[in-house]
Amino acid sequence: MSAGARAAEVGFICCRVCALVCDAGGDMAQCPRCDAEIRSRKPNSLSRTWAFLIAGLIAYIPANVLPVMHTHSLGDAHGGTDNTIMSGLIEFWHQGSWGIASLIFVASIVIPSTKIVALIALLVNAQRALPSRSAQFVRLYRMLELVGYWSMLDVLVVGLVTAVVKFRGLSDAEPRIGILYFGMVVILTMLATLSFDPRLLWDRRPGKG
């Protein structure tokens, strides 16, 4: 089966809520079935994606440099230890929990950084009519949608550990500001992914069907 026409080329819009295809005769309309405001493309997709991405990039540095958790146990010389994302990971490695160390490495280091690079690649590709590798880029985009939120792993670990390690004086754990920045990186890059419209990858190119 060869690929057919694209909706925008024939003036059709597909509703993002109920998936009804209708003949809108413009870029914007109201869906006759579900009343959603429907658009041919996500509004200001590229600038919104850039904005969220740049904000995420800014938060990325404090997220990795600042401590995410403070632990204190009886007999600690300097009143406790500050852990960053990286130092928590190294601790697992030294314990011999290589599986968990790799898991956290993927969720907290590999996914966020790849997401940033991949989003830049998608944006650049959507902005210029580069040789068409759009199918690969769509696959990349779908992967970002699928794996992006797993980076929240470290945020949720800090939440659980600090909630349960509460033995006054004996052993204590508290969240630190770094985890806020780390959470912001995850949320902002998720928002960037959601704002990006993969259909733009196919626009400005002659149809191949």
Site for other proteins in 97-126 (CB under 8 A): 97, 100, 103-104
Instruction: Check residue 55 for interaction with other proteins (CB under 8 A).
Output: no
Instruction: Check residue 2 for interaction with other proteins (CB under 8 A).
Output: yes
Instruction: Check residue 133 for interaction with other proteins (CB under 8 A).
Output: no
Q: Distance between CA 126 and CA 163 in Å, rounded?
A: 44
Q: How far is the CB of 116 from other proteins (least distance, A)?
A: 18
The residue count for binding other proteins (CB under 8 A) is 80
- Indicate the pairing of strand 81-83 with strand 69-73: antiparallel
Stretch that binds other proteins, among 11-19, 43-51, 52-60, 120-128 (CB under 8 A): 11-19
Backbone angles phi, psi at 22, to 5 degrees: -135, 160
Stretch that binds other proteins, among 45-53, 54-62, 116-124, 195-203 (CB under 8 A): 195-203
Query: What angle, 0 to 180 degrees and rounded to 10, lies between the N-to-C axes of helices 85-95 and 45-65?
Result: 60
Say if CB 72 and CB 172 are below 8 A apart: yes
Q: Which of 39, 48, 57, 202 contacts other proteins by CB under 8 A?
A: 202
Q: Which of 28, 90, 130, 160 contacts other proteins by CB under 8 A?
A: 160
Site for other proteins in 24-53 (CB under 8 A): 24-25, 29, 32-36
Q: Distance between CA 117 and CA 108 in Å, rounded?
A: 15
Instruction: Check residue 86 for interaction with other proteins (CB under 8 A).
Output: no
Instruction: Check residue 65 for interaction with other proteins (CB under 8 A).
Output: no
- DSSP string of 104-142, one letter each residue: HIIIIIIHHHHHHHHHHHHHHHHHTT-SS-HHHHHHHHH
Collapsing DSSP to helix, strand or coil, 171 comes out as: strand
